[in-house]
Each structure stands twice: as C-alpha cells, then as structure tokens.
C-alpha cells in the first residue's frame, strides 16, 4: 500500500523534473550552447545526488508547516500539488513546485483541523519575495563582473565561446545538485513522517537513512520528468522571457544555482552561524522564481529593452494562482478520499491539560494558565476542538496559543533500544546517545517532556541562547526521535506515568537521574503497571 500511495509523490517528482529542469539548463538549451540530451543526462544525475546527499535541510522547515500524519493524506497532498504543477506545465509556464506543495499542505491542515505553524508559513512566503530579488541581484553583479573581466583581459571570441560553453555545463551541474537538495522536500517531504523504511547500510561502506531512501526514489522520478517532458518549458525559459546571450545565460543559471544552494545547505548555514554571520532559512524555495528573477535582473540591466512583459505577467499569475489551486484541490480531494473511498486521511491529535502541562503553561504564561484553570484535566480529541475551547476561555496571542498547544498535545512515546542502536553516529554525538540509553524503555505522553528530560541528563541536549544553528540541529534531532519513538495510543482512559524532570542540581549527572523520585525506568516498569490501567506496552 505504501508503494501505491507514494506514487503521487513520484508523480510530483516527475512534474518537477518536467517543469524545473528548465530552470537549470533552459537558458543553455535556449541559447543553443548545449544540446537537450546532454542537458537532460547531466541534470538527472546531479539532481539525484543533490537529493540524497543534501536533501534533509529544507525538509524540516516544510514539515513544521504541517505534519501530514496519515499515508492516504500524504498521497492526496502530493497528488494535488503534482496535478497543479502538471496543468501549469501543459500551459508552458515555469510554475513553482514549492508553492504548489505549500498550498496542498495548507489544504490538508484546513481539512483535518490541524495547526498551521504561522512562523514557518511567514518564513516560506517571505522567501517567495526574497528568492527572485536575490537572484536578480546576483545576476546583475555577476554580469558586470564578467563583463569587466572580458574587457580587461581582451579574451578572443572563440576562446570566450568555448569558456562560456564549459561554464554553462558547470553552472548547470551546480544548479541540478542545488535543485535536488532544495526541492526534494517538495516531492517527498510529506512522506517522511509516515515512511515505513528503516535505515540501511550498503556493503558496510555507507548508510542510507529512511529519508534518504525516499529522496532517492523522488530523485529518480525527477530524472524521468527531465527526459520525458522538460523540453517545452526549457524553450519558454530560454527564449520566451528575454533573448539571452550565451554569457548572460551562464550568469542567470549561476545566480539561480547560488540562491537554491544558499537556501538548502546545512553545512553553509553552520559555517556562517559559527562565525556569527547572518544565515538564510533552510526552506524549499522556488526554482522558477530564482531563474526568472535572474533573467529580469539581466533585462533591467539593459534598461528593460527586450523583456516580454506579457509573458512575465502570465508567469506571475501562475505564481499567485498555484498555491490557491493546490489548496482548494487538496481540500476537495481529501473530502472524496475520506467519505467516498473511506480512507483515513488524518489521525486526530488528542490534547489534555494535564497537571504537567498546566505547570509548563503557568511558568511561561501565568495569566493564560489562570484563565484555563477550569479546563485542567479535560481531554479533547482534535486540534480544532481544543483550540476552540482555550480561545473561549482566554484572549491568546499566536505565540501563547502555540505554546499551549505544544504543552497539551498527547503523543505517546517509548524510548526504544533498537532505535537508539540504529541512530546515525555521525549525526548524533556519543554524549547524546548515552543520554538516550539512560532513558531506554521509558514512556512519555508529551513530546516536550522527552526533550526536557534529555536536557536534564546531558548538556548536549540543552538549547542555548545565541547558538541558532545548534538549536535548530537539536530541533531536527528531536523531531526525528519523536517519529521513531511514537507508539500506538493507549486504549484505556489512563495514560502512562511520565518521569519527573531532575532538579537543577542533578542536571548532567547521567545515570543518577534514575534515582530521581517519580522517575519511571525500564527496570521499575513491572512495579508501576497498576498506574497504567489496562494499558500494556510489552517489550516491542
């Protein structure tokens, strides 16, 4: 069933390859510097490499926008985005796959009543403006720099032609790698939380995580789209907006590639953050917007002469309508999938203002906690019902509402020994793994309690002010652990007893945390089963 449902992601990958390959080699093919077949082979190969090697960075931000927690729902989100992109591709417009998948995720959020992370949404929408502007700036700067070098060095025309041809090939390769790294999140990002794959090691030489296996499948689908249907859009980008000289074509592709790389590279973000330099958010930006921004930059540098404004108007209309169409299409399709075909498109997320949740809310928002006191102990089966209940009791800001939802969300977790054993030792430090081993077989009913308990055990799990990249890395690791440690919801009304967080004096003492009063260890589980009601976890 997973192979059937993931087919919509492969369709989206095919659509992305058919549409966005134009942004990598379209200017080169349109200016007749590279043959289409050569461009298709190089583009396909390096898109796959970029997806597998560096595809994780942008996926985390997209996942925060909305966590699609049921496989049929993920199928319809990807299918709606793919169908939207395909229809735009038929019209010959280089639309944004990023905008399509964001619109489809919002449609799923509205249908399921799930929380939309508005901070992530604002960040992503902001890049839709920043991306073409940044690409245009790079294009103008590079074009002037290369023009100055040509005049200063007096390069012969034949030598310039050969250098430009090789430059377009290298820029296209860089662009294909960046496209795979940045946009694979659009293709397979919604399937990461529901992936059935396990991490594997190939010939004892290198390992592929579950996400990387998904990204490889998506990369193959993108490559197929490049070969079968990308030529028409390549000609639109290469010739339809502005007639580019070979040098200008190289500049535009390089500008596009730089923008995608900046928004996808975790290593670059870490380097900049470690040197106290500003970083860009790691989000899947629009490849189409980047390439069009670069072309407009060159056109404006030439005072707008030759720019085809009608074509630009059509492309801009496509950018605006793409997320709206994808959102509506996804919402309507989910209704039919759930009510006509009886597929479970989402799993309701339960909430409860437990004693521990109220303590956390009271510490961060005392006034809100006082207003919500009458709801303590109440349980709600969906996000929509819980949000409605708390907003009737208190006038909450978006930040307060988000914190309360996070505090009360019930997510049943068990720290599994086999998951710890399979963790990537290059991503998780030995100190972080030791802290997890201390919690083996421990149960949690709130995600934040696991994070809080790990921070109490080891400084390696503690967030620090001013260390933005480290904090983001910890968030990504915790999100991964939540998905791997999650277990089925208890059938009884009672939930498992959670461990108490160690007091400040015990932080960093490692195994001494097992002696903390109220801490439920694996060894003490049998003595504490009476607190579980009729819920039994077993040893799996």
Residue 105: pLDDT band (50, 70, 90) is very high
CA–CA gap between residue 4 and residue 79 (Å, rounded): 12
HSE, side-chain direction, 13 A CA sphere, residue 421: 3
CA–CA gap between residue 35 and residue 40 (Å, rounded): 9
How many CB atoms sit inside 10 A of residue 60's CB? 21
**Tokens 């108007």 sit at which residue?**
313
Q: At what angle do helices 246-262 and 287-301 cross, to 10 degrees?
A: 140
With a cut of 80, say whether residue 345 has pLDDT above it. yes
With a cut of 60, say whether residue 123 has pLDDT above it. yes
pLDDT number for residue 2: 77
Q: Quick: pLDDT tens for 197-211.
A: 777 777 667 777 778
Dihedrals phi, psi of 536, to nearest 5 degrees: -130, 125
pTM of the entire predicted model: 0.77
CA dihedral sign, ordered 46, 47, 53, 54 = positive
Residue 503: pLDDT band (50, 70, 90) is very low
Residue 240: pLDDT band (50, 70, 90) is low
Give me the torsion for CA of 115, 117, 118, 123, rounded to 10°.
-160
Determine which helix (DSSP H) or strand (DSSP E) holds 201, and give its type and residue range.
strand 200-202
Report DSSP letters for 226-270, one per residue: HHHH-HHHHHIIIIIS-PPPHHHHHHHHHHHHHHHHHTT-HHHHH
pLDDT number for residue 155: 80
Mean pLDDT, residues 66-76 taken together: 87
Q: Quick: pLDDT tens for 164-196.
A: 888 888 888 998 998 888 888 888 888 887 777
Mean pLDDT, residues 59-72 taken together: 79
With a cut of 60, say whether residue 416 has pLDDT above it. yes
CA–CA gap between residue 37 and residue 25 (Å, rounded): 11
Paired strand residues for 201: 207
Contact yes or no for 2/197 (Cβ under 8 A): no
pLDDT number for residue 519: 39
Contact yes or no for 404/458 (Cβ under 8 A): no
pLDDT number for residue 511: 39
Instruction: Give the Å distances, CA to CA, from 201 to 139, 422, 484.
Output: 42, 10, 18
pLDDT number for residue 534: 32
How many CB atoms sit inside 10 A of residue 304's CB? 11
Summary mean pLDDT of the chain: 81
Q: Quick: pLDDT tens for 373-398.
A: 999 999 998 888 898 999 999 999 88
Contact yes or no for 528/497 (Cβ under 8 A): yes
Which 3 state secondary structure label does DSSP give 409? strand
Residue 499 DSSP symbol: P
Closest CA to 26 of 216, 385, 204, 292: 292
Q: Quick: pLDDT tens for 420-434.
A: 988 878 789 999 999
The whole-angstrom distance between residue 499's C-alpha and the CA centroid of its chain comes to 31
Residue 287: pLDDT band (50, 70, 90) is confident
Q: Quick: pLDDT tens for 151-166.
A: 888 888 788 888 888 8
With a cut of 80, say whether residue 468 has pLDDT above it. no
């Amino acid at each position: 069933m997973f192979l059937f449902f993931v087919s919509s992601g492969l369709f989206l990958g095919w659509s992305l390859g058919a549409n966005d390959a134009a942004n990598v080699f379209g200017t080169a093919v349109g200016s007749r510097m590279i043959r289409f077949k050569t461009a298709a082979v190089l583009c396909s190969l390096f898109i796959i490499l970029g997806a597998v090697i560096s595809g994780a960075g942008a996926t985390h931000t997209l996942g925060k926008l909305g966590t699609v927690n049921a496989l049929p729902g993920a199928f319809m989100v990807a299918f709606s985005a793919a169908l939207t992109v395909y229809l735009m591709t038929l019209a010959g417009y280089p639309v944004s796959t990023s905008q399509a998948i964001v619109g489809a995720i919002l449609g799923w959020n509205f249908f399921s009543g799930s929380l939309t992370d508005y901070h992530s949404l604002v960040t992503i929408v902001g890049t839709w403006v920043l991306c073409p502007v940044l690409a245009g700036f790079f294009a103008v700067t590079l074009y002037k720099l290369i023009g100055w070098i040509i005049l200063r060095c007096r390069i012969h025309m034949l030598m310039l032609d050969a250098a430009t041809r090789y430059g377009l090939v290298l820029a296209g390769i860089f662009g294909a790698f960046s496209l795979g790294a940045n946009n694979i999140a659009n293709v397979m990002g919604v399937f990461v939380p529901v992936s059935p794959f396990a991490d594997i090691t190939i010939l004892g030489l290198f390992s592929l995580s579950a996400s990387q296996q998904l990204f490889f499948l998506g990369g193959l689908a993108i490559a197929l789209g490049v070969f079968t249907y990308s030529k028409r859009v390549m000609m639109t980008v290469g010739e339809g907006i502005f007639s580019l000289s070979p040098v200008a074509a190289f500049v535009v592709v390089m500008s596009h590639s730089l923008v995608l790389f900046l928004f996808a590279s975790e290593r670059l973000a870490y380097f900049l953050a470690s040197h106290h330099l500003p970083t860009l958010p790691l989000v899947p930006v629009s490849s189409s917007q980047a390439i069009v921004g670069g072309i407009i930059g060159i056109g404006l540098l030439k005072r707008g002469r030759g720019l085809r404004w009608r074509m630009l108007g059509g492309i801009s209309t496509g950018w605006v309508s793409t997320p709206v169409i994808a959102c509506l299409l996804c919402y309507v399709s989910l209704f039919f999938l759930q009510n006509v075909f009886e597929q479970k498109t989402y799993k309701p997320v339960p909430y409860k203002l437990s004693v521990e949740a109220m303590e956390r809310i009271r510490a961060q928002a005392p006034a809100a906690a006082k207003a919500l006191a009458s709801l303590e102990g109440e349980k709600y089966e969906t996000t929509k019902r819980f949000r409605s209940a708390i907003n009737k009791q208190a006038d909450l800001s978006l930040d307060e509402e988000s914190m309360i939802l996070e505090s009360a969300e019930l997510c049943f977790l068990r720290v599994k020994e086999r998951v710890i054993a399979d963790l990537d030792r290059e991503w998780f430090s030995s100190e972080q793994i030791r802290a997890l081993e201390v919690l083996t077989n421990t149960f949690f009913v709130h995600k934040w309690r696991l994070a809080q308990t790990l921070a109490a055990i080891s400084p390696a799990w503690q967030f620090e002010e001013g260390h933005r990249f480290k904090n983001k890395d910890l968030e990504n690791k915790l999100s991964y652990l939540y998905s791997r440690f999650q277990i089925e919801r208890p059938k009884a009304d009672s939930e498992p007893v959670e461990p108490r967080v160690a007091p400040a004096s015990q932080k960093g003492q490692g195994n001494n945390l097992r002696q903390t009063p109220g801490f439920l260890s694996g060894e003490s589980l049998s003595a504490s089963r009476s607190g579980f009601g009729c819920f039994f976890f077993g040893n799996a």
